[in-house]
A and B are shown apart, each in its own frame.
Chain A
Amino acid sequence: QKEVEQNSGPLSVPEGAIASLNCTYSDRGSQSFFWYRQYSGKSPELIMSIYSNGDKEDGRFTAQLNKASQYVSLLIRDSQPSDSATYLCAPLGYGNKLVFGAGTILRVKS
């Protein structure tokens, strides 16, 4: 079992729809979780962090965390073509190191 599992996609959504990106992790000790966006050929950029169970909203982005189910998700409302990218889930693991999933490719069609 991989430490961090993400559906590789591509996930295709029409412009204006809600994109839902999911991630499961194996380390029950993880307490902090980060979502990164990576455009093709570019480096990852941080878009959200979440530490507590429940929802955290920031603009069009909402991160959801359920530690009992070892599940974290990212919702993107009103998806735009500029949101087309790979989204990386990264729980904070042992030794304060982030463990990255392989990422989900999101394609927003106009």
Chain B
Amino acid sequence: DGGITQSPKYLFRKEGQNVTLSCEQNLNHDAMYWYRQDPGQGLRLIYYSQIVNDFQKGDIAEGYSVSREKKESFPLTVTSAQKNPTAFYLCASSSPGDRGGDGYTFGSGTRLTVV
């Protein structure tokens, strides 16, 4: 079955440490996105990529980095520059098409906690 796989499900980061969150999709979608969700709040866009080897900053890119070397993969690195990284991270993909296609498909998320 096609879908998006995020790993790990839970991740603990020490102060000053970089960590990388994995996102892989087999839906043949061109576009991929990373969102952050804090308790009781909506989704905020971190980075997005509409084609391989290209990506753009979203609304809250500071302290994060991404790469898009393969169509299937869009890993997110949370760097030590991100001062408050504890949150629920969601990866999504889409095949925009006409009128936005079928919207976004989301992975199951990674819950990151600073210890």
Are the CB atoms of A96 and B31 closer together than 8 Å?
A: yes
Nearest A residue to B108, CB-CB:
A43
Is B63 close to A, CB under 8 A? no
* A-B contacts, CB under 8 A, total: 52
Are the CB atoms of B100 and A32 closer together than 8 Å?
A: yes
- Report the contact-size class of chain B (Cβ under 8 Å from the partner): 20 to 34
What residues of chain A have their CB less than 8 Å away from a CB belonging to chain B?
31-32, 34, 36, 42-46, 49, 51, 88, 90, 92, 95-98, 100-103
28 contacts between A and B (CB under 8 A): A31-B100, A32-B99, A34-B100, A34-B103, A34-B104, A42-B108, A42-B109, A43-B107, A43-B109, A44-B104, A46-B104, A46-B105, A49-B100, A88-B42, A88-B43, A90-B103, A92-B100, A95-B50, A96-B50, A96-B96, A97-B33, A97-B45, A97-B48, A98-B103, A98-B104, A100-B35, A100-B42, A100-B43
